[in-house]
Amino acid sequence: MKALLIYEDFNRATKAIATLRRAAHHADASLEWDIRPWRVDMLKVAPIAAEALMEAADADLIVLADRRAQSLLPDWLEQWATHRHIEDAALAVIGDGNDDVFSAPEASELSRFAARHGLSFIIESEAAPKTQTASALRALPACRLLFYLGTLCMMATPSWKAQAQATPAATNGTSKPDLSLKSAPKSIWENGLGEGFRSTTESIGLSAGATYGIATFGSREAHDLALVSLSYGHMLGRTWGEGHWYRGNLEFRLELFTGAQFSPSSEWLVGLTPQLRYNFATGTRWIPFVDLGAGVTATSIGPPDLSGTFEFNDHAGMGTHWFLKDNVALTVEARYVHWSCAGLSEPNLGLNGVTGMLGLTFFF
């Protein structure tokens, strides 16, 4: 489950993280958390608020860790509630067992806000009647009921001995703490969407496209091709170039492709190409990249430009990922491609063209 944690005070944020961690280990709740922390003052900056809204769109839970989060009403929270993708999302206040962080009027305002947008509202505070919490629980789907029961059991305990891990991190010149849970599944990102991939991130891509043939560099004919490809990628280490325009990740990829020539004649081809790709960390949903690859191809395309079944292929290209979700991207790329047998047989004039591909890439 995905949660956005909104806070001002760092200590309250770590206590809220600890609460969610203990709930995840509750005997009756088998959960894994993906928690995204956002400081309140960051959400007052328009570009950062917009990025947080994109992250919040598919969140199951918005957690308010202290009372200054109330200042987000009616703007940011209103936008999230109106444009969220998760119909049965919940709004929660995780308070401190030793003192109230929300007054009764503030709790009532949040309750009215949640009711107006059809959100489940969960609060454990002296300002909130217990019957209100029970009512919110009954409104949740049965598949999530055990989790919230576990959470509230832990919130009722005033001791905060279990602490969450907290390390400082920088995001495009704006700092926010990177709060993580050992029980949570790791995000594919080092520090939020677009901020560089983790070294363990892998990908599977499916693409289709075409090659516009060019009779150049010795080729006698223009060969037009239709292509489909299946690719696998793995990041080679952590994000490079922190603080520089070229900040990003180097990725090893292996692409299996097949297709057919449809001009000047009908022929087949299939090949395998190892690649190196560099993904630029932009801090946005747009992740441009450049890549190089060289591999082998089997094809029935022959003279006058190619000689036999076995050929080499190489390419240089560029493109971009546009992340539809945190781990799913629409991928567009363009390449200059070349096929030849490297002089192993004759003729070896070569096949040249420009390839355009469109597809989906799934990261995990």
Q: How many domains does the chain have?
A: 2
Preceding omega of 47 cis (within 30 degrees of 0): no
Paired tokens of 177? 């703490």
Q: Which of the two residues, 309 and 174, has the higher pLDDT score?
A: 309
Q: Which of the two residues, 73 and 350, has the higher pLDDT score?
A: 350
**In angstroms, rounded to a whole number, what is the distance separating the alpha carbons of residues 333 and 229?**
12
Does residue 220 sit in the same domain as residue 171?
no
Q: What is the mean pLDDT of residues 141-146?
A: 41
195 within some domain:
no
Q: Which helix (H) or strand (E) holds 80?
A: helix 76-83
pLDDT of 179 > 60? The answer is no
pLDDT of 294 > 70? The answer is yes
Give backbone dihedrals phi and psi of 224, rounded to 5 degrees, phi first: -95, 130
pLDDT of 177 > 60? The answer is no
pLDDT value for 106: 74
**In angstroms, rounded to a whole number, what is the distance separating the alpha carbons of residues 38 and 182?**
19
186 within some domain:
no
* b/e burial code for range 38-70 (CB count within 10 A of at least 16 → b): bbbebbeeeebbebbbbbbbebbbbbbbbbbbb
Rg of the chain on CA atoms, in Å = 26
pLDDT value for 168: 37
Q: What is the CATH number of the domain that holds 238?
A: 2.40.160.20
pLDDT value for 102: 63
Instruction: Read off the pLDDT of residues 76-125 as tens digits, 9 standing for 90 and up.
Output: 888 888 888 888 888 888 765 544 556 667 777 888 888 888 888 887 55
First to last CA, the chain: 15
CB contact set of 105 (below 8 Å; sequence gap of 6+): none
Q: What is the mean pLDDT of residues 170-196?
A: 59
**In angstroms, rounded to a whole number, what is the distance separating the alpha carbons of residues 221 and 305?**
7
Domain that holds residue 141: 2-180
Q: pTM score, two decimals?
A: 0.53
Q: Are 97 and 40 in contact (CB under 8 A)?
A: no
Instruction: Read off the pLDDT of residues 257-276 as tens digits, 9 standing for 90 and up.
Output: 999 999 999 999 999 999 99
pLDDT of 233 > 80? The answer is yes
Please report which confidence band the pLDDT of residue 323 belongs to, taking 50, 70 and 90 as the band edges.
very high
Does residue 241 sit in the same domain as residue 159?
no
Paired tokens of 21? 């961690």
187 within some domain:
no
pLDDT of 149 > 50? The answer is no
pLDDT value for 236: 95
Please report which confidence band the pLDDT of residue 35 belongs to, taking 50, 70 and 90 as the band edges.
confident
Please report which confidence band the pLDDT of residue 301 belongs to, taking 50, 70 and 90 as the band edges.
very high
pLDDT value for 137: 39
Closest CA to 201 of 183, 191, 187, 185: 187
Last residue of a domain, one of 148, 180, 212: 180
Q: What is the CATH number of the domain that holds 118?
A: 3.40.50
